[in-house]
Structure 1
């Protein structure tokens, strides 16, 4: 489980971000003392830092410099400041990316996943091919689903569909998008094939005792509902 250190002084946004990211099995730590961010970083040893610019006592630029003196951990600035000069300064001081408020949590998650995949996963030096939502995880190396210690074998198509739905947890994924991820050079996939494979995914989840996790949105697509876990 990756650890994220969230340095954000807007309590409402901070709590919203924390709750959302924890649904994807991220371990999120929020700042406890704005005078001791650097020290909290040393204790937590996060895999990623989400850093606001305007903070009490010291700004995000100050802490970015402090962290960069001792760590190459990915740092993503999260700020309402849209001026180019501020974004340039953030990157020049060692930040890896900059996302401006307001933003969608799905975009934030996509950026975080890309960072961690690049630094620690398939594009980095340390392999990690496991993703999860709450207690349900998928291992791309073995096409296995794990739910609280119970392991289930999935076919390639079952795994591909379930992963797509979990990546977009609590959001409807269209049938067209699911057909696209199933398509490959050697196999034609039609609408009936998709229906059959989604049914198989639902049955696999039922084997694990998970009922109504994947729901059909008639005429639109399917949704993986985290609240059913």
Structure 2
């Protein structure tokens, strides 16, 4: 049975999510002590975390940062904040998806199942080397010469598929499917945001203009391997 941890302070929403997901054979736990969020993540060891942003003590972004320091557990943000900047912030901090309130719990279930399928199907564990550039599978780190960067899950996945297809166009559809599986539930702008983030990380390594945008088609990771 897959376990879901709900970090949400709205009691009615807590109950609604728990009852609905429990009916689909999920084991659902609700955070009750917001002074011990990370401790409860460790003890419950969930397959997915549903994270609200407006929380007591600290906001959800704070807890997302803490979670990402130690865990790769998929996180879906549930928030009343619908501003694009908030969504971008969540994705850049490592969230796997972002749902704005009010939302359909049926679509939430679809997103949860999509994330689980993606995680369960991701078994590959090979590092990718391209000249002086190395993408480490297990740690999700990117190294170029003596500089090492910690990547978010989405940054890692984008680079992995692009590096496996160096010099060739990778379509937006293929990238969306690799990242979120069910593309029908993903805003196309979300991919653009993630690609922009990846380009910025490469710039930090001094690798500028490595990813070329083929407008209306997809993206190409240019040949740099020697």
Q: TM-score, normalised by structure 1?
A: 0.53
Q: Provide the C-alpha distance between the structure 2 equivalents of 1:53 and 1:69, rounded to a whole number of angstroms.
A: 18
Q: Which has the larger radius of gyration?
A: 1
Structure 1 unaligned blocks of 5 or more: 127-229
Equivalent in the alignment of 2:122? 124
Equivalent in the alignment of 1:95? 95
1:35 Cα deviation after fit? 1.3
Q: Provide the C-alpha distance between the structure 2 equivalents of 1:56 and 1:3, rounded to a whole number of angstroms.
A: 24
1:124 Cα deviation after fit? 2.4
Question: Are residue 42 (structure 1) and residue 49 (structure 2) matched?
Answer: no
1:40 Cα deviation after fit? 0.6
Q: Provide the C-alpha distance between the structure 2 equivalents of 1:75 and 1:125, rounded to a whole number of angstroms.
A: 19
1:43 Cα deviation after fit? 0.6
Contact 1:35 1:58 in 2 (8 A): no
Contact 1:3 1:28 in 2 (8 A): yes
Structure 2 unaligned blocks of 5 or more: 125-226
* Segments ≥4 residues shifted beyond 2 Å: 123-126
Q: TM-score, normalised by structure 2?
A: 0.54
The correspondence of residues 50-69 of structure 1 with structure 2, limited to 5 A, is 50-69=50-69
Q: Provide the C-alpha distance between the structure 2 equivalents of 1:98 and 1:89, rounded to a whole number of angstroms.
A: 10
1:42 Cα deviation after fit? 0.7
Q: Provide the C-alpha distance between the structure 1 equivalents of 2:10 and 2:57, rounded to a whole number of angstroms.
A: 15
Question: How many residue pairs are counted as aligned between the two chains?
Answer: 124
1:58 Cα deviation after fit? 1.0
The correspondence of residues 120-159 of structure 1 with structure 2, limited to 5 A, is 120=120, 123-125=121-123
Equivalent in the alignment of 2:129? none
Q: Provide the C-alpha distance between the structure 1 equivalents of 2:21 and 2:86, rounded to a whole number of angstroms.
A: 26
Question: Are residue 7 (structure 1) and residue 7 (structure 2) matched?
Answer: yes
Q: Provide the C-alpha distance between the structure 1 equivalents of 2:123 and 2:119, rounded to a whole number of angstroms.
A: 7
Q: Provide the C-alpha distance between the structure 1 equivalents of 2:82 and 2:25, rounded to a whole number of angstroms.
A: 30
The correspondence of residues 1-229 of structure 1 with structure 2, limited to 5 A, is 1-120=1-120, 123-125=121-123
| Secondary structure of 1:69's aligned partner | helix
